[in-house]
Amino acid sequence: MTDPTAAVNLAPGQYVLYFDQPIESPTIGLEEELSSADARLRVFPNPAAGSIFIHSDGTEDELSLEWLDMQARVLSASRHDASTGQTGPVSIQELPNGLYMLRISGDHTHETHKILIQH
């Protein structure tokens, strides 16, 4: 595009970037970096329907769970035995469909996981 006043018609959700200098890489993107090596807990299934399970490395006796909406408001909180390395099933029936953050805390663990609920 050479005319900065020209109209640009884009479909909903479509974005186009224009540069006044050549770029070295033809690929530009956004990426969420996930590091499973740092995670001590595994939450499944995801997406979830009726309940979730949490597997840990067995170093926690108890886990605190907080469900947050995407505005970081705490919707519910509970405590669960984790001494066997598995917690669950943890019911999610009271949460409507949507994307949530599950904040999990223990004596040695503090993690937040994104969970998609689809009943």
pLDDT given for residue 11 in this prediction: 73
Instruction: Look at residue 12 in the predicted model and tell me its pLDDT.
Output: 73
Q: What is the pLDDT of residue 52?
A: 96
When pLDDT is cut at 50, 70 and 90, the band that residue 8 belongs to is: confident
pLDDT, tens digit, for every residue of 19-68?
Answer: 676 666 555 444 444 455 567 899 999 999 999 999 988 889 999 999 99
Average pLDDT, the chain: 83
Q: Which CATH code fits 42-117?
A: 2.60.40.1930
Give all strands of the β-sheet with 62-68 in edge-to-edge order: 74-81, 62-68, 98-105, 110-117
List the domain boundaries for the chain.
Answer: 42-117
